[in-house]
A and B are shown apart, each in its own frame.
Chain A
């Protein structure tokens, strides 16, 4: 925390102009408040959120889709009465119909049921992956940005190395070490995103670390650990949360890709990536086996990206 502050001395007068905009905003706010009541506080924030959502119907659709997927994870029975594992061999490879919305596969299993039940495995893996990436990445970024010096150097050089390896290749290498299985795939994908998260976190922490309120917290007598977790972390977490939503989409793709390659869920367990993978063998005769699960994956990734963008613009506005 010993930054040289040679430019510090010139802030005295710079501040005058720097805060002119703030003072103006105060004046505007006080004049706006004068006639009608106050539209602030929790109710005002909620009203603003609803207003924003109405202006961005895409975000609403994305959130609705993600909620549906989440519900499918927790209670797949709500969406389909069919069994995802046991099929009726007589009905094998029938196209989409009223009885089987997504058609059936080569064993006569209902594809819609398999997609619905498969969301649990895929989403679980994606959440684990994002969780690991977020937790480890944030912690490393926080330490690198806040402590600086050699800690920063060591962590950032390691992340340089990680960033220089393609993410999928890195995940493949990790799976080779950890072994097959959905959870291992998730861990591998999560570790692959640590470097990117720590980078973002570090840059945010460096920005916040020099904020006046952080110095005020130190001058108040806070221990550095408390400054870090109470004052620096909450103010630098915003962009990382945006990245997390984005990573969630990427993680679903990566997990599906690894399952597609056969490293993830083992048959007969349904998983989005492996559904696409097995459907590939029947591509010429049964297009729905690859296309429909593929569309579900694509929509979920798009929804996560839309949510990320909405969070990002909100984050920008609140600065």
Chain B
């Protein structure tokens, strides 16, 4: 114990050497972490950056010896203040956890005990370690909540987790991590579940606390922009090994490893406007004519057959026009006759062949607006015009007719594909639904579409569970394209994906737009992504559209104070990469994820 609490001066807080962690599964062992060595000095802020499965979280959990049951450390040492934690006894580990090393977990919504008051949960750390009796611990807990930046800490301490917002809960978790006065805080993706403005406040606060108390910070993140802003040193991990480490300036300015270069090129927040990989070749004319040559909404029509008159004017300047849209949801039961106004007087239009992005944080009404435009929900008042035709009250046959022209791509490709169907069945589903083409026609079209979205033909017979997230999102895009729509509504199409796959999907969308003249309504909370793909942008807040304009104008000179706050909160703005790095090493977006 005594050697843990009183380190020799000059020893680093944490010194990991040659760490390897294996997971034992039914199908054999997996090397989650292969060979990781890193050092964190006193007061230093180190960020581990990597994508899903790179082993960054496993490394973090190995430090506090909180690995899953089927995982084991096979090699290496983890010296904390000079003492090796690998193989340390339970008692020694308990003395370190919470007291000397604070852990801020990833998801604030599930990391607090729902049946205990906030104050008690924070105070628990002190009580467990015998640092204070219950009464003094409660007082210290309130102080810790205040230091974690929670307003009205006395009130919060008496509340239960469900009464607090996500950002507040994350602050509670930070209070739990700092109350013991640790030497090291491990923050495992502390803000990936939070809105961008809240994320910024939380990270700012961790920085302040570190500076104030001199504790070291190990930040685990997938976002290179956050790492660049917040860390003294960046450690890049891929496939269980450290591929590169150095100061932000070194790593971003002169990356030596190809994986780092690919990661930098893919990170939207680090790249200048319009920098999505538009270098991807457009579809060949021959493919475009063959696959997308039919009439909108009727891919199998041929030129000698007249297209049925539909009342849609496909030469209108704006594909979609929303006028003074309002949507009220009934208020919670027992709250009287009150209504919940999700969308308040929203008007904008989507220009033909361009992308209109709707940006906002959770609860801003952007998804509801998209659902109204798609006619998946009924409007309370206002008008929706598609190709110059009022579709606000369309139903039955008219609505189904409309579905051939507007298609939707969902946020989460892990949930939006029917798990029982094969990929071919999923892609042809809209065609079958509208009775378009014969069975053979549809099959052929599925094969062509899979090719257009750069998937191998072998996926056609597989089921969604056998595909990765990026591949599934390509399938969702292929399904949306099946009926030759004019407008795609993209509801956060990349936010569930890793950053390098995000870049590939955005590249694919940009290329399709250029080749086919598609119009996009792009919903996103990520301004950095919007800057890359959109032509016009609307910023939503609490159901209102606070600012609309061309992307370049809005980003260069935002008029509304909220837009400015959103822009300032984009991580990585302070650290631009030299253009030569971000351009010359693009991963080709057509390549398989």
* A residues lining the B interface (CB < 8 Å): 2, 4-6, 8-20, 22-24, 26-32, 39-41, 211-213, 215-223, 226, 230-231, 234-235
**Smallest CB-CB separation from B199: which chain A residue?**
A13
- The reply on B391 being an interface residue by CB < 8 A is no
CA distance A23 to B471 in the complex (A): 12
* Cross-chain contact of B468 among A16, A17, A26, A216 (Cβ < 8 A): A26
B106 close to A17 (CB less than 8 A): yes
Give the shortest distance, in Å, between A25 (CB) and chain B (any CB). 8
| Chain A residues closer than 8 Å to B476, beta-carbon distance | 216
B329 close to A6 (CB less than 8 A): yes
| Chain A residues closer than 8 Å to B479, beta-carbon distance | 216, 220
A13 close to B109 (CB less than 8 A): no
A11 close to B367 (CB less than 8 A): yes
Give the shortest distance, in Å, between A41 (CB) and chain B (any CB). 7
* Cross-chain contact of A19 among B189, B342, B412 (Cβ < 8 A): B412
* Cross-chain contact of B418 among A16, A213, A226 (Cβ < 8 A): A213
Give the shortest distance, in Å, between B281 (CB) and chain A (any CB). 26
Known contacts being A213-B416, A216-B416, is A13 close to B27, with CB within 8 Å?
Answer: no
**Smallest CB-CB separation from A3: which chain B residue?**
B377
Give the shortest distance, in Å, between A43 (CB) and chain B (any CB). 13
| Chain B residues closer than 8 Å to A29, beta-carbon distance | 468
A22 close to B365 (CB less than 8 A): no
Give residues 395-412 of B contacting A (CB, 8 Å): 400, 403-404, 407-408, 410-412
B412 close to A12 (CB less than 8 A): no
| Chain B residues closer than 8 Å to A219, beta-carbon distance | 374, 376, 403, 407-408
CA distance A291 to B272 in the complex (A): 84
Known contacts being A219-B376, A220-B403, is A4 close to B408, with CB within 8 Å?
Answer: no
**Smallest CB-CB separation from B543: which chain A residue?**
A9
A220 close to B429 (CB less than 8 A): yes
- The reply on B420 being an interface residue by CB < 8 A is yes
| Chain B residues closer than 8 Å to A234, beta-carbon distance | 418, 420
B362 close to A215 (CB less than 8 A): no
- The reply on B194 being an interface residue by CB < 8 A is yes
- The reply on B229 being an interface residue by CB < 8 A is no
Give the shortest distance, in Å, between B30 (CB) and chain A (any CB). 6
Interface secondary structure of A, over-half rule = helix
Give the shortest distance, in Å, between B200 (CB) and chain A (any CB). 14
* Cross-chain contact of A211 among B189, B239, B415 (Cβ < 8 A): B415
* Cross-chain contact of B497 among A10, A23, A231 (Cβ < 8 A): A23
- The reply on B469 being an interface residue by CB < 8 A is yes
CA distance A74 to B54 in the complex (A): 58
CA distance A29 to B483 in the complex (A): 33
B408 close to A9 (CB less than 8 A): no
**Smallest CB-CB separation from A9: which chain B residue?**
B363
- The reply on B561 being an interface residue by CB < 8 A is no
Nearest first, the 7 closest Cβ-Cβ pairs linking A and B are A27-B53, A221-B403, A23-B52, A220-B430, A212-B415, A222-B433, A219-B408
A221 close to B106 (CB less than 8 A): no
Give the shortest distance, in Å, between A46 (CB) and chain B (any CB). 15
B340 close to A18 (CB less than 8 A): no
A222 close to B429 (CB less than 8 A): yes
A18 close to B412 (CB less than 8 A): yes
What 15 new A-B contacts, CB under 8 Å, besides A5-B371, A39-B27?
A: A8-B367, A11-B411, A12-B366, A13-B194, A16-B193, A19-B414, A22-B469, A23-B497, A29-B468, A31-B239, A41-B462, A213-B418, A220-B407, A220-B430, A220-B479
* Cross-chain contact of A217 among B52, B166, B367, B418 (Cβ < 8 A): B418
**Smallest CB-CB separation from B375: which chain A residue?**
A219
- The reply on B244 being an interface residue by CB < 8 A is no
**Smallest CB-CB separation from A233: which chain B residue?**
B420
Give residues 107-148 of B contacting A (CB, 8 Å): 107, 109
B468 close to A15 (CB less than 8 A): no
A27 close to B378 (CB less than 8 A): no
| Chain A residues closer than 8 Å to B53, beta-carbon distance | 23-24, 26-28, 30-31
| Chain A residues closer than 8 Å to B516, beta-carbon distance | none
* Cross-chain contact of A15 among B23, B189, B239, B492 (Cβ < 8 A): B492
| Chain A residues closer than 8 Å to B376, beta-carbon distance | 215, 218-219
| Chain B residues closer than 8 Å to A221, beta-carbon distance | 400, 403-404, 430, 433-434, 483
Give residues 322-353 of B contacting A (CB, 8 Å): 329-330, 340, 342
B377 close to A213 (CB less than 8 A): no
| Chain B residues closer than 8 Å to A235, beta-carbon distance | 418-420
| Chain B residues closer than 8 Å to A13, beta-carbon distance | 166, 193-195, 361-362, 525
| Chain B residues closer than 8 Å to A32, beta-carbon distance | 27-28, 30
**Smallest CB-CB separation from B461: which chain A residue?**
A41
| Chain B residues closer than 8 Å to A31, beta-carbon distance | 30-31, 53, 239
Binary A-proximity of B20-35 (CB < 8 A = 1, otherwise 0): 0001000110110000
**Smallest CB-CB separation from A218: which chain B residue?**
B376
B52 close to A26 (CB less than 8 A): yes
CA distance A15 to B362 in the complex (A): 11
